[in-house]
Copies of this chain bind each other. A is one copy, B any other.
Amino acid sequence: MHHIAKPLPGHDQEPAVWLVGAGPGDPELLTLKAVRILRAAHVVLTDDLVNPRVLEHCPQARIIHVGKRGGCRSTPQAFIERLMLRYARQGVRLVRLKGGDPCIFGRAGEEMARLARHGIDCGVVNGITAGLAAATGCGIALTMRGITLGATFLTAHTEDGRSPDWQALVRAGTTLVIYMGVATLANTRRQLLSAGMAAATPVALIENASLPQQRLCRTTLAQMQADATAFGLRSPAIMIVGDVVAAARTAQSHAPRRRRQA
């Protein structure tokens, strides 16, 4: 039923494929490791949500866009995985570039599993996930001591129609960081109220986290639907629900400076 793994061996060779987190949008939130791997890439399969400025680190690479914007024309996951297999077998240095962190709503698990089934080794490089960047951009400490014991990152809806156990989430009392929640905001509000969450619970809605065009709408659970409409909230946005939102200092955190066009 269980086994104890030995210490990981030192891997001296590079994996055939790297899954790399491009971060939340601000190209300065890329890691040094991501930059090193991009600079050496022959082919980069990139999500459409990745900031084009991130691709400036790999001018030598062939760039292939494999978009998956919610609701829009997109590249099927199976096709992306076939492309990955094809390039990996050609022996080129392949990077699969994803917004945020590959392990948080990034489908890294599916792509890793597919590669593993074909005996192809892959490495993963973490990125800053949008929920964390959204919190930071608004001065919200997601796990502030004395207020909550943790934070839950979740999606409010899935393709197979499953939805979270809102009652259990409310009882657990962790800060909720909801991804891809704009389309289902009215339902999320109704579910959280039905589950007994206080109507006055503070909520932050953050559009374009970490980018110069970042926008923040502070509201409450009861008011969030009306406020989101008045605000003109658009995807992609992050919703943070919990008392830590009210504890955030009133001074805004520093959004990245707008860069002048050269």
A residues near B (Cβ < 8 Å) are: 1-5, 7-12, 14-15, 23, 26-33, 35-36, 101-110, 112-113, 115-116, 121-129, 132-133, 135-137, 139-146, 149-155, 158-160, 162-165, 167-169, 171-174, 200, 212-220, 222-223, 227, 230-231, 244, 247-255, 257-258
Partner of A8, one of B135, B154, B169, B214: B214
Which B residues lie within 8 Å of A146 (CB)? Answer: 160
User: Which of B136, B160, B173 makes the CB contact (< 8 A) with A103?
Assistant: B136
Complex: A6 Cα to B29 Cα, angstroms:
24
CB distance from A84 to the nearest CB of B (A): 14
Contact yes or no, A227 B144, CB < 8 A: no
Complex formed: what's the CA distance from A232 to B79 in Å? 44
Main secondary structure of the interface of A (DSSP, over half): loop
Of chain B, the residue at the smallest CB distance from A215 is B7
Q: List residues of chain B with CB within 8 A of the CB of A167.
A: 171
Question: Which residues in B have their C-beta under 8 angstroms from that of A116?
Answer: 249-251
B126-A103 in contact (CB<8A): no
> Are B149 and A31 in contact, with the CB atoms below 8 A?
no
- Can you add 17 more A-B contacts, CB < 8 Å, to A109-B144, A168-B172? A1-B223, A2-B219, A4-B231, A5-B218, A8-B252, A10-B257, A11-B254, A11-B257, A23-B31, A32-B35, A103-B143, A108-B141, A109-B248, A116-B251, A123-B253, A129-B132, A143-B155
Q: Which of B8, B115, B200, B257 contacts A215 (CB 8 A)?
A: B8
Contacts of A219 on B, CB cut-off 8 Å?
2-4
Contact of A132 among B101, B109, B150, B216 (CB under 8 A): B101
Neighbouring B residues of A164 by C-beta, 8 Å? 149-150, 172
Question: Would you give the shortest CB distance from A173 to chain B, in whole angstroms?
Answer: 6
A147 to B162, CA, bound (A): 11
Listed from nearest, the 3 A-B pairs whose CB atoms lie closest are A109-B141, A150-B154, A168-B171
Q: Could you say which residues of chain B place their CB within 8 Å of the CB of A255?
A: 8-11
Closest chain B residue to A36, Cβ basis = B28
Contacts of A7 in B (CB 8 A): 213-215
B133 touching A126, Cβ below 8 Å: yes
Given A112-B249, A149-B155, A172-B172, A103 contacting B220 (CB threshold 8 A):
no
Report the minimum CB–CB distance from A170 to chain B (whole Å).
8
Q: Give A214's nearest chain B residue, CB to CB.
A: B8
Residues of B with C-beta under 8 A to A108: 141
Contact B32 A113 (CB under 8 A): no
With both chains docked as a complex, state the minimum distance between the C-beta of A139 and any C-beta of chain B, in angstroms.
6
